[in-house]
């Protein structure tokens, strides 16, 4: 590939010149033999896929980029690659049939061999770690395609894991590896800074005020750099994921720039701007990775903050009255030992003998607390027995009640541990998957003190 092209890509993806040159050295010239396989790895959001894709598209080589997640059967992998190498497109006219039917690796190699040998081919597989879960022969074979087909063909694997994680018992051929390191803070700032034009454009499309858009146009990149500096100082500790940083910085910039647009703060008054933005920034910091709607309206921001608190979450789940009790009963069944049931739920349970042994056994150590050990399983019968014990009124055992159990399972508040098929027989075991906070909140709503019925807190 010409130097100009390389520079073009390098300009588009700053801070990656070295890697791009490396790629160019490996596969840049189509006339030379390609390496057997290249393994590209690095953390998410470091530009692996973007750079490789861009690079391959600018090469005069037939290439196919494919995600392994999408190839849930190996047949799809083979057929897509072949379709693309033979320039075959599925369409309504050929009733969406692939170029050849190819169900096995053998057929795949055979079909590849029939390709004209004078040109070069590249197969690029994203999310390559999924290859390990596919047919056993795929991974070793795609790394040795040159050998098997006699073509000038190269496989690029893109993954987040280091190559060590791919080793099989039978061994793999050595591959060229390219590592994409994480961007440093300075690099992040440079890249985000390059985004300024886009950010402006985006913001301008949201504003319908002409004057404001004009002020926005006048803003210089220094202003944005200042902002990014503030922004990264807050966020770089919590989050290094580039796309996430970019999306948050865009949202926060809108808040940052607003006082400048409506003229309340001068654009050069950095300290005042900082004071103005510090609160929204810390609010956004708590919502990092949540990816709620970024419309940055007050209302949604409020919803965001509300969603943080646990209370709000459990309040937003409205359950029918008996379902609440069933859930409490399930929690109690999951976090109390069955032999304590009599003591907890029967009125005249007799006197308990206190022996040193039992006292010692019951000594409360946090590690031993049932509530900290995780839920135990219980049968439907026990669930119903506890349900009837904690409910004051008398309810019939009706279909509606029983169907509540299954609807709780649907909502993932309960889960089957075993015997999902034989609910009828009574041997199915369930487990409660919600936490103490949630249950005690529900208990408070219906006026039931959950703590009182937990052995741990007695």
- Contact positions toward other proteins, by CB under 8 A? 44, 67, 69-70, 72-73, 75-76, 80, 83, 89-92, 95-97, 127, 198, 202, 205, 241, 243-244, 246-247, 289-295, 300, 303, 307, 313-314, 316-323, 395-404, 407, 410-413, 424-427
- Closest approach of Cβ 353 to other proteins, in Å? 26
When the beta carbons of 223 and 413 are compared against other proteins, the nearer one is 413
- Closest approach of Cβ 413 to other proteins, in Å? 8
DSSP 43-106: -TTSSHHHHHHHHHHHSSSEEEEEETTT-SSHHHHHHHHHHHHTT----TTTTT--SS---SHH
Distance (Å) of CA 207 to CA 216, 292, 392: 10, 22, 59
When the beta carbons of 82 and 143 are compared against other proteins, the nearer one is 82
When the beta carbons of 24 and 433 are compared against other proteins, the nearer one is 433
The three state secondary structure string of 171-203 is CCCCCEEEEECCCCHHHHHHHHHHCHHHHHHHH
- Closest approach of Cβ 230 to other proteins, in Å? 22
- Closest approach of Cβ 425 to other proteins, in Å? 5
When the beta carbons of 146 and 433 are compared against other proteins, the nearer one is 433
- Closest approach of Cβ 269 to other proteins, in Å? 31
When the beta carbons of 406 and 449 are compared against other proteins, the nearer one is 406
- Closest approach of Cβ 429 to other proteins, in Å? 15
For residue 33, the 8-state DSSP code is P
- Closest approach of Cβ 94 to other proteins, in Å? 10
Q: For residues 266-294, b (16+ Cβ closer than 10 Å) or e, as one string?
A: ebeeeeebeebbeebbebbeebeeeeeeb
When the beta carbons of 367 and 393 are compared against other proteins, the nearer one is 393
DSSP 314-379: HHHS---HHHHHHHHHHHHHHHS-GGGHHHHH-S---PPP--HHHHHHT---GGG-HHHH-PPPEE
Distance (Å) of CA 189 to CA 11, 132, 218, 221: 15, 36, 21, 12
When the beta carbons of 34 and 248 are compared against other proteins, the nearer one is 248
Residues β-bridged to residue 178: 40
Question: Rounded distance, CA 99 to CA 104, Å?
Answer: 15
Q: For residues 11-35, b (16+ Cβ closer than 10 Å) or e, as one string?
A: eebebbeebbebbbebbbeeeeebe
When the beta carbons of 167 and 289 are compared against other proteins, the nearer one is 289
Calculate the CA dihedral of residues 100, 105, 107, 112 and round it to 10 degrees: 80
- Closest approach of Cβ 268 to other proteins, in Å? 29
When the beta carbons of 118 and 318 are compared against other proteins, the nearer one is 318
- Closest approach of Cβ 426 to other proteins, in Å? 5
Question: Rounded distance, CA 364 to CA 369, Å?
Answer: 7
- Closest approach of Cβ 51 to other proteins, in Å? 15
Any idea how long the chain is? 458
When the beta carbons of 89 and 184 are compared against other proteins, the nearer one is 89
- Closest approach of Cβ 185 to other proteins, in Å? 20
When the beta carbons of 140 and 435 are compared against other proteins, the nearer one is 435
Neighbours of 49 (CB within 10 A): 17
Q: Give the closest residue to 60 by CA, choosing from 5, 114, 106.
A: 5
């Amino acid at each position: 590939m010409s130097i100009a092209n390389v520079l073009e890509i390098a300009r588009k993806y700053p801070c990656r010149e070295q890697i791009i040159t490396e790629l160019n050295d490996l596969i840049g010239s189509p006339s030379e033999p390609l390496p057997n396989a290249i393994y590209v790895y690095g953390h998410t959001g470091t530009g692996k896929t973007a750079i490789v894709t861009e690079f391959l598209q600018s090469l005069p080589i037939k290439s196919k980029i494919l995600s392994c997640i999408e190839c849930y059967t190996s047949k799809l992998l083979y057929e897509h690659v072949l379709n693309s190498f033979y320039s075959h497109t599925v369409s309504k006219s050929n009733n969406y049939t692939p170029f050849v039917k190819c169900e096995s690796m053998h057929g795949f190699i055979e079909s590849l061999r029939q390709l004209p040998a004078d040109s070069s081919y590249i197969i690029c597989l994203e999310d390559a770690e999924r290859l390990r879960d596919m047919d056993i022969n795929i991974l070793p074979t795609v790394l040795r395609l040159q050998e098997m087909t006699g073509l000038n063909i190269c496989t690029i694997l893109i993954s987040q894991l280091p190559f060590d994680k791919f080793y099989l018992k039978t061994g793999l051929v050595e591959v060229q590896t390219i590592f994409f390191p994480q961007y440093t803070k300075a690099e992040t700032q440079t890249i985000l800074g390059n985004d300024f034009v886009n950010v402006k454009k985006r913001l301008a499309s949201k504003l319908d005020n002409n004057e404001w858009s004009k002020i926005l146009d006048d803003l210089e990149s220094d202003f944005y750099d200042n902002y990014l500096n503030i922004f990264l100082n807050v966020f770089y500790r919590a989050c290094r994921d580039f796309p996430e940083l970019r999306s948050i910085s865009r949202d926060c910039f809108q808040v940052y720039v607003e006082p400048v647009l409506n003229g309340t703060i001068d654009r050069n008054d950095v300290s005042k701007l900082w004071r103005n933005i510090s609160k929204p920034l810390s609010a956004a910091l708590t919502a990092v990775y949540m990816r709620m709607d970024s419309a940055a309206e007050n209302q949604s921001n409020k919803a965001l903050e509300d969603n943080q608190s646990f209370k709000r979450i459990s309040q937003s789940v409205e359950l029918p009255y008996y379902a609440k009790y069933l859930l409490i009963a399930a929690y109690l069944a999951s976090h109390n030992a069955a032999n304590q049931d009599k003591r907890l739920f029967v009125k005249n349970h007799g006197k308990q003998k206190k022996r040193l042994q039992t006292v010692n056994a019951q000594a409360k150590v946090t590690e031993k607390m049932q509530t900290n050990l995780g839920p135990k399983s219980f049968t439907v019968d026990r669930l119903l027995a506890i349900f009837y014990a904690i409910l004051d009124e008398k309810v019939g055992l009706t279909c509606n009640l029983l169907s509540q159990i299954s609807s709780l399972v649907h909502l993932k508040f309960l889960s089957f541990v075993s015997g999902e098929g034989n609910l009828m027989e009574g041997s199915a075991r369930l487990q409660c998957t919600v936490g103490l906070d949630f249950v005690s909140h529900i208990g408070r709503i219906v006026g039931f003190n959950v703590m009182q019925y937990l052995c741990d807190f007695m």
